[in-house]
């Protein structure tokens, strides 16, 4: 198990490095779910965010899952491992028979056996979940849950950075527009002024 925990430490370092890179938010989030799946030897991983009304979960980044599974239908926050959106990690060993799984038939067709769902929190508010999918039944250890929880925190930071960057970019563009309009106005005023001629001696 020590070897697996070392893999977790290395993966967290790599995810943090990706977070600090110049990549786009989508690149960073896709890197996160890929790192999780590979580090945990899982079939796949997804990051889903809640809609503003908190009724649905939307796939924001995914790795190792087919488009058919990702687009299987609306994922309800009330019917799809709802406990994770109450702030608790949830481990489902038999995803094809557990009532907490909304799309059990699709999970079976996708070859999913077990699911670990961990909340993503930002400033004390749950904004989504990270889910790990395995092809073989798995009882997730505390170290697995801790690792995915740490990744969820990094994912929240990535999302916050993306939000701040978008806001800063918007403010910058508005400032540029204001300066351009100010310069245009000053130019027009200058053109309307009487030229100042030198007084002959």
> Rounded CA gap, 7 and 187, in Å?
62
- Domain 2-166 is found in CATH 3.40.50.720: no
User: In angstroms, how far is CA 21 from the centroid of its own chain?
Assistant: 16
Q: Where are the domains of the chain?
A: 2-166
Residue 61 is inside which H or E element, if any?
Answer: strand 56-63
Distance CA 189, CA 18 (A): 50
Q: Would you place residue 190 in the very low, low, confident or very high pLDDT band (cuts 50, 70, 90)?
A: very low
- pLDDT bin (cut points 50, 70, 90) of residue 176 is low
The pLDDT of residue 61: 92
Residues 155-175, mean pLDDT to the nearest whole number: 64
Q: What is the spatial distance between Cα 97 and Cα 114, in angstroms, rounded to a whole number? A: 10
Residue 174: what pLDDT?
57
Q: Binning pLDDT at 50, 70 and 90, where does residue 78 land?
A: confident
Whether pLDDT at 138 is above 90: yes
Percent of the chain with pLDDT over 90: 47
């Amino acid at each position: 198990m020590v070897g697996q925990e070392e893999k977790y430490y290395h993966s967290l370092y790599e995810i943090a490095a990706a977070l600090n890179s110049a990549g786009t938010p989508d690149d960073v989030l896709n890197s996160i779910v890929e790192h999780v799946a590979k580090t945990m030897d899982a079939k796949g991983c997804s990051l889903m965010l809640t809609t503003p009304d908190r009724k649905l979960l939307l796939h924001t980044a995914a790795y190792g899952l087919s488009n058919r599974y990702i687009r299987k239908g609306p994922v309800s926050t009330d019917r799809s491992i709802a406990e994770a959106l109450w702030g608790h990690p949830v481990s489902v060993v038999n995803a094809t028979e557990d009532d907490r799984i909304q799309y059990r038939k699709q999970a079976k067709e996708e070859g999913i056996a077990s699911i670990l769902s961990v909340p993503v929190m930002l400033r004390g508010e749950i904004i989504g979940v990270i889910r790990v999918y395995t092809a073989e039944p798995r009882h997730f250890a505390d170290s697995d849950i801790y690792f995915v929880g740490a990744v969820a925190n990094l994912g929240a930071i990535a999302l916050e950075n993306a939000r701040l960057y978008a806001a800063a970019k918007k403010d910058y563009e508005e400032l540029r527009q204001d300066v351009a309009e100010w310069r245009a106005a000053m130019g027009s005023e200058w053109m309307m002024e009487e030229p100042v001629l030198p007084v002959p001696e």
